[in-house]
Amino acid sequence: MADLTPPQAPSQLTCSVIDVDNSTGRATVAVGWMDNCDFPDEFVTNFRFEAEDGSPMTTQAVYASDYDTPPGSTGTRSGQVVIPAPNGPFSVSAACARWITMDDGAKFSVFSEYSATVIVDPVGGGASGGKTHGKGNNKNR
């Protein structure tokens, strides 16, 4: 029987706004995290973005094929994803997924719990000098 153990959740999540494209209404954000999954069938890390009021913005993924080398390794990871341009502070959390091959050949996803949530202020404030397109400040929720 296939091992359906959920992977360990990502930790030490960071996120900052790199650029906002006002013509498309999209923003590129940099994400960083500690990959704690030591399963060689790790498939993806999903990032769930929510507006300040808790309404969903989007969920985006960074695929393990882009960061998990060799498969089953752990460590600090980073990537970039595109999200709807934020109108103010937003939150992000992350979950890891395994893509398990069952004994009959069927594929099955098993997700970790979501990481602690990080609040991102796209205006920057503090060290970024309040630049609209500067790096956001991360605050654990």
User: Tens digits of per-residue pLDDT, 95-132?
Assistant: 999 999 988 999 999 999 999 999 999 875 222 222 22
DSSP letter at 53 equals T
| Amino acid in the structure at residue 50 | E
Q: How many CB atoms lie within 10 A of CB 70?
A: 6
CATH code, domain with 39: 2.60.40.10
**Region for residue 36 given its phi and psi (left: phi exceeds 0; alpha: psi -120 to 50; beta: otherwise):** alpha
User: What is the dihedral angle through the alpha carbons of 85, 49, 111, 98, rounded to the nearest 10 degrees?
Assistant: 30
Q: Please give the average per-residue pLDDT across 21-49, as a whole number.
A: 95
Q: How many CB atoms lie within 10 A of CB 122?
A: 25
Structural domain for 105, as ranges:
11-140
Any domain includes 136: yes
Q: What is the separation of C-alpha 132 from the centre of its chain, rounded to a whole number of angstroms? A: 22
| Amino acid in the structure at residue 120 | V
User: Tens digits of per-residue pLDDT, 64-78?
Assistant: 999 999 999 999 999
If one counts the domains in the chain, the total is: 1
